[in-house]
Amino acid sequence: MDFKFSAEDEAFRAELRSWLDANLPRRERGEHAEWAFSEESASHWERRVAWHKKMHGGGWVGISWPKEYGGRGATLTQQLVYGEEMSRAHAPALVNQLGTMLVGPTLIQWGTEEQKKRYVPKILSADEIWCQGYSEPNSGSDVASLQTRAVEDGDYFVVNGQKVWTSDAHHADMCILLVRTDPDAPKHKGISYLLVDMHSPGITVRPLVQITGARGFNEVFFEDVRVPKKNLVGEKNQGWQVAITTLMFERSGGGGDRGVAGQIRELAALARRLPRGGATAWDDSAVRQKIAEFQCEAVALRYTGYRQLTRRLKGLPPGPEGSMMKLCATELNLRVQTFAMELLGPYSQFEYRAPFALDKGRWSYRMLGARGPTIYAGTNQIQHNIIGERVLGLPKG
């Protein structure tokens, strides 16, 4: 492949970089990881919404979407550049991430014109926040075994059941909900995909507190919730195909190193500041060696991302690189955060934002949060299965 970016792509990079320099306050840089799944106060949430709206105002939300739906029609290469620049600037995640990454692209592919007109603009502007109702207490990796039921009643579906781990449901206005509409059909063939107003009577959202102390996700209960039939996406009982489209967008999101390169740079800066034996931790060659190893892995991930891009530029479907990147990036992130705990020694015990904590206690927060990405969007064991079967050609277990 050619490692050089075209003049247009470099111009795109320069435009985004200068926009971020002008619009992203210093104090909000480096809070990327914490913003993804944390929430301490209403003002914190408002800051996240304000950042999303600022990005939207600058034309930097939904960049890959067609222009007719409010996107920029950015090329695949520009999407990669976008991920690199957002990571470089330590830009916080968008507040309506599930809406922009999953729901919008799925609706553009599967929605009716009416659904696109009604929902897509408010996804971009974050005027409506979305959540994803897939997982249930007994259906996670095998989500097609879900049991939440929807029964037809005139112009409505009536929904009963429970979802769990529903990120942002406590803020959400809308939900993409997988329901069983034919309990007698084989499990993948009796599922429908609904757009549900989270303010409907009969919905109860109960926040779950994560190990980080944040309330990022929830249990959601549905009791006789009436959903208009016009909110069905795709055909009744054919929702699995729509659900898979959403999952493809979920797994392909995040770019090459998925932000871990920025964390490694911060780790190196931390080592340079930490006193150790009359010098700093950075003066210890074992510490430098470890951080250099992390950096090599991050660069390998970046090039794996480029390899995937090359396939797609040649018109080939996304390969198994997505699973490899998801697996390797999340495992690398976990090791980076664990090593930060070793470097910090007793300081690692300070909680996020505790007085006297180094870097506001950000490292212990990140370490506690680093398990999550190894679980969502297909657990890492499931990624191992995919790589084993599709890359190594091993027999199915």
Positions that interact with ligand FAD (CB under 6 A): 37, 131-135, 140-141, 165-167, 217, 372, 375-376, 379, 381-382, 385
Distance in Å from the first CA to the final CA of the chain: 35
Please tell me the distance from the alpha carbon of residue 223 to that of residue 221, in angstroms, as a whole number: 7
Please tell me the distance from the alpha carbon of residue 12 to that of residue 289, in angstroms, as a whole number: 35
Residue with tokens 């909680």: 351
- Given the complex with ligand FAD, which of 24 and 95 has the nearer CB atom? 95
Q: Is 190 exposed, middle or buried (0-12, 13-18, 19+ CB in 10 A)?
A: buried
Residue with tokens 């699973």: 323
* Smallest distance, ligand FAD to C-beta of residue 22, A: 32
**Amino acid identity of 3?**
F
* Smallest distance, ligand FAD to C-beta of residue 309, A: 26
* Smallest distance, ligand FAD to C-beta of residue 302, A: 24
List 180's β-bridge partners, or say none. 149, 191
* Smallest distance, ligand FAD to C-beta of residue 106, A: 14
| Distance of alpha carbon 48 from the chain centroid | 15
Q: Is 200 exposed, middle or buried (0-12, 13-18, 19+ CB in 10 A)?
A: middle
- Given the complex with ligand FAD, which of 61 and 146 has the nearer CB atom? 146
Q: Which two tokens stand for residue 68?
A: 């007719």
- Given the complex with ligand FAD, which of 304 and 374 has the nearer CB atom? 374
Q: Is 299 exposed, middle or buried (0-12, 13-18, 19+ CB in 10 A)?
A: middle
128, 250, 266, 297: which is the annotated catalytic residue?
Answer: 250
Q: Which two tokens stand for residue 42?
A: 């209403």
Radius of gyration (C-alpha) of the chain in whole angstroms = 22
Active-site residue flag, 250: yes
* Smallest distance, ligand FAD to C-beta of residue 143, A: 7
CB-CB neighbours of 253 under 10 Å: 18
Please tell me the distance from the alpha carbon of residue 336 to that of residue 283, in angstroms, as a whole number: 19
Give the angle 331-332-335 at the CA atoms, nearest 5°: 90
- Given the complex with ligand FAD, which of 101 and 274 has the nearer CB atom? 101
- Given the complex with ligand FAD, which of 134 and 249 has the nearer CB atom? 134
* Smallest distance, ligand FAD to C-beta of residue 380, A: 7
DSSP element (H, E) containing 322: helix 321-344
So which residues are the catalytic ones?
A: 250
